[in-house]
Amino acid sequence: MKTFKQIYDHAENKITGIAAAPGIVIGPVYLYTREKLEVINEEISNCREAVKNFRDALLKAKKELSKVFELAKEKMGGERAAIFEAQLMILDDPILIETIENRIYSEKRLPEYIVDDEISKYQKMMMSAHESYMKERAHDIGDIKNRIVRNLQKKRWQSKIKKEAIVISESLSPADTVLFSRNDVKGFVTDHGGLTSHAAIISRSLNIPAVVGTHNASHLIHDGDIVIIDGFHGYILYNPDEKQISFFESKLEKLKALQRELEEYKGKPAITTDGKEIHLSANVDVSGEIDIVITSGAKGIGLYRTEQVLEELSEFPTEEEQAKIYRNLSSRVYPNNIVIRAFDIGGDKFKYYDFQEPNPFLGLRGIRLLLENKTLFKNQIRAVLQASENKNIHFMIPMVSTILEIRETKKMIEECKKELKKEGKNFDRNMKVGMMVEVPSAAVMAELFAKEVDFFSIGTNDLIQYLMAVDRGNDLVSDLYQQFSPAVIRTISYIVREAKKAKKEVSLCGEMAADTLAIPLLIGLGLESLSISPSTIAYATRIIRSISYKKAKKLAADCLSCSVEKDVIDRIEKFFEENSITRTRNLI
Ligand code: PEP
Ligand code: MG
C-alpha cells in the first residue's frame, strides 16, 4: 500500500487548495459555469418604465432569496442562515434603492447598467480591504448585484444540477451552496474563496467535504471527469489512476470503520483503565456547532470563542443580542458548564482598528484591546452576567500577560454587577472568572496568578507560538512550532502544578489536546480536564479508556527529562506501541 506522501508528492493530477470542510469523496464532476451577465451602457427614453422594471426585478430577487433563506434555516438553523437575512436587508436598503432610481432618472441609462455600476462601487471598496473577510463579503454583494441584473434581463436562475455530483466552479455564492445541497451534492471545489467564505462555512455545517481557493480547478477539470476530494488536507486529484483510487477507497473504508467504532464511545466516560476520570469538554467557535456538542458526549463547553460571533456578523452585537446568544448556549449545555471567553480580537483574528500594527500578534490583542475599549468590554461583561442566572457560566480572559490586567478586569466585573443589581437584574453573583495561560509571562507567574483567578485554561496554540518565538501561521518556521518541545511540556507541567497547589481548576484548550498522540502525556502531566473540538471527543475518549494513569505519569516523567522534541515523540510512540494502542493521528 502506498503512503500518503507517495500518493501526493509527485502526482501530476494534483490540485492544491484550502481544506474547507473535512471528508473524502470520489465521484463524477458537475462543472458549474455561471452565465456571464453582459451589461450594456445604453440610453433609454422611458425612465418611468425602467424604474418599474427595476422595482419588479428587486421584488423577484427578494422572492428568490426568501426561498433560499427558508431552506437554509431548515438545513442549517437560524443563526447560520442569517447570511441570507442580511442579503435580504440589502435589497431593502432605502438609500441604495433611492440612489439607483435617481440615477436612472438623471442619467437616462438602462437600469441594469446603473445597478451594476452602483453596487460595483461598494464591491470595489470591500475588495480593496486588507482582510480576507471583507473580500469575501464583496463576493456576497456581487451575488446580490447579479441577481437583480439577471432579473432585469429576464433570465432564469439555474439552481438545479445533476444529483450526487461533485460541484466544481470558479466561485459559489452562499445561495448556490444551499440550493445545490438539495441535490445531494457530494463535494464542493472552487477556484476562489477562503476559509471564511460562506460557501466554506455552509459546507462545514452541511457536512459536505470541500476544497476552496484552488485557483484553476474549474479550468483543468471537465464536466464528467472523476475526481477525489480530500477535504482533510485540501487536495484534489482529477482523473485519478487505479493506485490513487484504491488508496482513497481504503482510506474511506478506514474512515467508516473508525466512525463506526467511535460511535461506541459517544457518551461513555473518559476513564483510564485504572479509574482516573478525565473531564472532556468542547471548544465551540460558532454557536451553530452546539448540536454537535450535545451529541458528542462532551461535558459542556470548555472554550467558547466569542470573537467568532463578530466574524459571522461582521459587527458587534448589542448587549441584548449577546446575552441572548450566551443564554441560549448555556441553557443548551445545562447542567454542564460553559466557559465564555471574552473577545480575543487582534492578532490574526477579527480586526478592530483600521490601522495595521507592525506586529499584530504582539500588539493590541485580547485583554489589552478590551481594556483600551472599556465600553465594548463592559457590554460583553454585562451580557455574560445577565445570561448567568443558571450559574453554569464561567468567564475567561484571553491573552493575559500581567496581574494588573486581571485586577482591572475584576474591578470592571464588580462595577457591572453593581449596575445590574441596581437595575433589578438577576445574575450569578459568584460567577467564576478565569484566564487563558498562553503568554510566557503568565506561565512563569502561574503561582501568583493562581491567587487572583478561579481557574486556568492553558492555550497551547499561543503558548507554543510565544514560548518558541514562532508565528503560528508562518510556514517558513513551522519546524520550530514544536508542541512536544521540552520547553513546552516543562511549562505545562509547571502551570498544572501551581494551579493544583493553589487548589484551582486547570484545563487545556489548545489544539494539542485533540492530538491523540499528546493525550497520554498531558494526562501524565496532571491535567484532568481537556477542551477539544466536538468531533474529536470520541477519539480522545477511546485513547483515554485504553491507557493506565500510572503508566501515563511514568511517561510524563520520562518526557520531562528529554532535551529535544524528537526524544519526547519517540518516547510517546514507544508508549503507544508497548501498550498496543492504535494511533489515529495519521490515519486520515
Ligand atoms: C490557544 O491559544 O491555545 C487558544 C485555545 O486560543 P486561540 O486558538 O483562540 O488563540
Ligand atoms: Mg490563544
> How is residue 573 written as a grid cell?
510512540
Q: How is residue 372 annotated by DSSP?
A: H
Give DSSP secondary structure letters for 84-95.
HHHHHHHHT-HH
3-state helix, strand, coil in the chain (%, to 5): 55, 15, 35
- Contact indicator for 389, 423 with CB cutoff of 8 Å: no
Tell me which residues of the chain have a pLDDT lower than 50. Answer: 585-588
Distance CA 107, CA 154 (A): 22
- Considering only CA atoms, which of 556, 461, 464 is closest in space to residue 514? 461
Distance CA 195, CA 198 (A): 8
Distance of CA 238 to the CA centre of its chain: 28
- Considering only CA atoms, which of 178, 151, 127 is closest in space to residue 37? 151
Is 130 a known active-site residue? no
> How is residue 144 written as a grid cell?
446580490
175: helix, strand or coil: helix
DSSP bridge pairs for 530: 280, 508
Q: How far is the CA of 330 from the centre of ligand 1 (A)?
A: 21
> How is residue 33 written as a grid cell?
459555469
| Full-model pTM | 0.66
Cis peptide before 28 (omega within 30 of 0): no
| Residue in 304, 305, 368, 456 to alter for ligand 1 test, most ligand atoms within 8 A of Cβ | 305
pLDDT of residue 474: 74
Ligand that comes closest to the CA of residue 511? 1
Q: Residues whose CB is under 5 A from ligand 2 (ion)? A: 438, 459, 462
pLDDT of residue 2: 60
Topology (CATH) of 47-152: Enzyme I; Chain A, domain 2 (1.10.274)
pLDDT of residue 3: 63
> How is residue 420 written as a grid cell?
445590574
What CATH number was assigned to the domain covering residues 262-587? 3.20.20.60
Q: Classify 526 in phi/psi space as left (phi over 0), alpha (psi -120 to 50) or beta.
A: left
- Considering only CA atoms, which of 543, 490, 488, 494 is closest in space to residue 510? 488
Q: How far is the CA of 110 from the centre of ligand 1 (A)?
A: 52
Which residue's C-alpha cell is 503508566? Answer: 551
The 10 Å Cβ neighbour count of residue 295 is 12
| Residue in 307, 349, 397, 509 to alter for ligand 1 test, most ligand atoms within 8 A of Cβ | 509
117: helix, strand or coil: helix
pLDDT of residue 56: 93
Give DSSP secondary structure letters for 414-428.
HHHHHHHHHTT----
The 10 Å Cβ neighbour count of residue 472 is 17
Which residue's C-alpha cell is 477535504? Answer: 231
521: helix, strand or coil: helix
Environment class of 33 (CB within 10 Å of its CB; exposed 0-12, middle 13-18, buried 19+): exposed
* Residue type (1 letter), 114: I
What is the gyration radius of the CA atoms in the chain, in angstroms?
A: 26
Ligand 1 contact, 302 CB (< 6 A): no
Distance CA 283, CA 304 (A): 6
- Contact indicator for 514, 533 with CB cutoff of 8 Å: yes
Exactly one of 198, 279, 416, 559 is catalytic; name it.
Answer: 198
- Considering only CA atoms, which of 172, 168, 180 is closest in space to residue 219? 168
- Contact indicator for 59, 133 with CB cutoff of 8 Å: no
**What is the 3-class SS of 21-47, one letter each residue?**
ECCEEEEEEEEECCCCCCCCCCECCCH
pLDDT tens track for 33-70: 877 778 889 899 999 999 999 999 999 999 988 988 88
Please list, in sequence order, all residues whose beta carbon lies within 8 angstroms of the beta carbon of residue 433, skipping any fewer than 6 positions away.
394, 395, 396, 397, 409, 410, 413, 453, 454
How far apart, in Å, are the Cα atoms of 263 and each of 221, 316, 587?
37, 38, 17
216: helix, strand or coil: coil
- Contact indicator for 206, 183 with CB cutoff of 8 Å: no
What CATH number was assigned to the domain covering residues 4-29+159-254? 3.50.30.10
Which residue's C-alpha cell is 429576464? Answer: 154
- Considering only CA atoms, which of 83, 185, 103 is closest in space to residue 143? 83
Domain ranges of the chain: 4-29+159-254, 47-152, 262-587
Ligand 1 contact, 460 CB (< 6 A): yes
Is 509 a known active-site residue? yes
- Considering only CA atoms, which of 516, 495, 520, 513 is closest in space to residue 505? 495
pLDDT of residue 124: 85
Relative to beta strand 279-284, strand 301-305 is: parallel
